[in-house]
Structure 1
């Protein structure tokens, strides 16, 4: 058992990490588009938020403590919400189509849908 998750031996087995990695990959592709080269700040923030989600899931898992893991999952959750805002800005400014933006937002929701129950599970272990 690692970080309070009894059957998981590697963070890459977690659905939350898998969704977060998929999200980060797609968001990175958006950030590297030629149109975003003119707004380096937005591209940088998009990349940082996207990369933060799977990275914090991995780091928290490696802490061996349910309490620490839950804390890092909350950071990942916050980064996912930040990413959601950057995606909205990309849609509003025409850097992605509405359809592309909605696909990314669906991935954000799926990622959050995997992170939140894991946080609740880990917090229940602390009681």
Structure 2
């Protein structure tokens, strides 16, 4: 994998994580009633942090020959976590769910495809 692609993925990941962390919809901030107001946003930000760390690990391991399996596992786990959040929270407001969850979901999918494509290239060389 070229350094240019890794750099582009890293910058895109930083921008999408900043968008997802700072521009959380108001619905998530007020969900939970008076006692638990904001608890949904707290859980979403927690899983966003986990997905961010998993994606960083995956991007960092894309280039190495021996660590392709780690990149594959971390990228798939991140995709599944964020896809689950999308499915759960887009039930009430589909358009809001798409606007909020789609950027990281698309990037996760791209990372998974690049990891598998890179893995096939590495195994073809041996």
Global fold match (TM > 0.5): yes
Alignment RMSD (CA, Å)? 3.3
Q: 1:120 aligns with which of 96, 102, 116?
A: 116
Question: 5+ unaligned residues in a row in structure 1: which ranges?
Answer: none
Q: Distance in 1 between matches of 2:54 and 2:94?
A: 28
Q: Distance in 1 between matches of 2:111 and 2:5?
A: 16
Structure 1 residues 48 and 67, CA gap change in structure 2 (3 angstroms) = farther
The TM-score, its normalising length taken from structure 1, stands at 0.62
Q: Distance in 2 between matches of 1:119 and 1:10?
A: 12
TM-superposed deviation, 1:13: 2.2
Report what 1:50 is aligned to: 48
Question: 5+ unaligned residues in a row in structure 2: which ranges?
Answer: none
The TM-score, its normalising length taken from structure 2, stands at 0.62
- 3-state SS of 1:71 partner: helix
Higher relative contact order (CA 8 A, sep 6+): 1
Structure 1 residues 111 and 34, CA gap change in structure 2 (3 angstroms) = same
4+ residue segments displaced more than 4 Å? none
Q: Distance in 1 between matches of 2:3 and 2:38?
A: 40
Please tell me whether the aligned partners of residues 73 and 119 of structure 1 are also in contact (alpha carbons under 8 angstroms): yes
The number of residue pairs the alignment matches comes to 116
Structure number with bigger Rg = 2
